[in-house]
Structure 1
Amino acid sequence: MKAISQKEVTKLKECHRPVFDLAIRTADMLVRMFGARCEVAVHDFSDLKKSLIHIAGDITDRKIGSPITDLVLNELAKHKNEVNDIANYKTQSKKGNVMKSSTIFLRDDENKVIGALCLNYDISLLMQFGGEIEQFISFDEHSSKSETFFNSVQDVIHEMVDQVLQGFKKAPSLMTLEEKVECVRQLEDKGTFLIKGATDYVASVLGVSKFTIYNYLQKIRTINELQPEAALEHK
């Protein structure tokens, strides 16, 4: 089990320590109970680019200091503090193993989301058995969501930008002003700009300055605040 160091523990806000201490103990106990095919990660949202503070088990090959996943980032961007726990969705490791996953969002005394406990269980072998375990390996509505595990925050940003650019079917240099604004709007919806450094990277890809990206974002956020119905139509 890859435990958070004592130095890192001391960085946690004192008022949040009981929440993360319990999450870490729970993670370790779940892996002890369910064995080598189980992995439980604990994330601290105070720094999304290196949010992984504890991981028990080793299915996704991540280490302490790895960034948040794109699925969790998307949920935070869409629902913010109203985000709900996500149960029984389908994910896949880099090795191709199919996993059944769930995410519990951790909250402080004021009910503010401060982190997450994420459970991954490798069901590849179980899927071969079929029949009697069909109910166990069924997935809920969130199974249609995709989630990728990364070892660096740059990979998170690059993947999210690549996903959006694929929808335009043209090189960024050939995109019109309206298309670039739409690209930034989609990245905003995905929570891309919650990550430090994303603005500089998006600016370089689109061939504009970071101040231009800031202007795009200001207009987009103003429209979303004034016309929430119009913003929802894009989603």
Structure 2
Amino acid sequence: MDSADSILDALKDVIPGLAATFGRSCEVVLHDYRGGDRSVVAVAGDVTGRHVGGAMSEIGLRMLAQGDDAEPELNYLTRTESGRTVKSSTMPLRDAHGTVFGALCVNLDVTALRQVGDMLGDLAGTAPAQLPTTTFTDDFDEVLDAVVRAEELALAKPVTSLTRQERLPLLRTLDERGVFTVRGAAPKVAARLGISRASLYTDLAECRK
């Protein structure tokens, strides 16, 4: 058994206790990025509704994009598509060679606390801060679609109607966001953009020059 597998096995025994310490509002998710679009290998608690065999979120993609330079992201706030406010920390896992192979994520549902804070803000005359929406799901296709949809909104036109020159910056952005670090993502992006796999790989190579 290699060091990565040993670390995962050890953490699988720990995460139920971590989740139980914080109660029903806490969820701990263990990711093995070597699993591609099914990176979730253990879950304790239920905040994001994910299960073993589920997908990473946009946050996981961002960490993948950083590679072995990834640093812990602690105490950040996001909003789920259902409107729940989640406070999270994502900590990369490294094997004996220093290679990032996964992550340990702690998610706290702070929706009720956020609502109280917003009420106090209203009384004080301050507007609540807008939180980015994160796609927590078992289906990586939904995460991928959310990432593409966000770029589509920024472009203000359907991605299937882009010219090649318009498509190249989009692919560069998706590459920088870690989309193509996930095994099997490229064909799905090609289908979403309405182009062939060959065209996608040619355009991606051009972006990376």
- TM-based fold match above 0.5: yes
Q: Helix, strand or coil: the match of 2:91?
A: strand
Equivalence for 2:39:
51
Bigger relative contact order, structure 1 or 2 (CA pairs below 8 A, ≥6 apart): 2
Question: Which one of 182, 188, 194 corresponds to residue 175 of structure 2?
Answer: 188
> Counterpart of 2:74?
87
1:160 is the counterpart of 2:147: yes
Cα distance in 1, alignment partners of residues 10 and 132 from structure 2 = 28
Q: State the TM-score, normalizing by the size of structure 1.
A: 0.76
Could you say if the C-alpha distance between residues 129 and 154 of structure 1 is closer, same or farther in structure 2, counting changes exceeding 3 Å?
Answer: closer
After superposition, residues 36-115 of structure 1 pair within 5 angstroms as 36-77=24-65, 79-115=66-102
Q: Specify whether residues 127 and 73 from structure 1 end up closer, same or farther in structure 2 by C-alpha distance, changes over 3 A only.
A: same
**Distance of aligned partners of 1:158 and 1:173 in 2 relative to their CA distance in 1, 3 Å threshold:** closer
Query: SS at the partner of 1:115?
Result: strand
The DSSP-based 3-state class of the residue aligned with 2:78 is strand
Structure 1 ranges of 4+ moved more than 6 A: none
The one-letter code of the counterpart of 2:10 is: L
Over 3 Å counting, the alpha-carbon distance change for 1:81 and 1:176 in structure 2 is same
The 3 A distance-change label for structure 1 pair 56 and 221 is same
Q: How far has the Cα of 1:159 moved from its partner?
A: 1.4
Which stretches in structure 2 are left out of the alignment for 5+ residues? Answer: 118-129
The 3 A distance-change label for structure 1 pair 72 and 172 is closer
State yes or no: 1:204 paired with 2:195.
no
Question: Cα offset for 1:30?
Answer: 1.2
Q: Percent identity?
A: 31
- What is the number of equivalent residue pairs in this alignment? 199
Following superposition, the deviation at residue 163 of structure 1 comes to 1.4
- Consecutive unaligned residues in structure 1, runs of 5 or more: 1-12, 131-142, 223-235
What is the alpha-carbon root mean square deviation over aligned residues? 2.3
2:76 match: secondary structure:
strand
Q: Return closer, same or farther for 1:212/1:30 CA change in 2, 3 Å cut-off.
A: same
Matched residues in 2 for 1:48 and 1:196: separation? 5
Counterpart secondary structure, 1:50:
coil
Alignment partner of 1:23 is 2:11:
yes
Aligned CA distance change for structure 1 residues 99 and 170 (closer, same or farther; 3 Å): closer
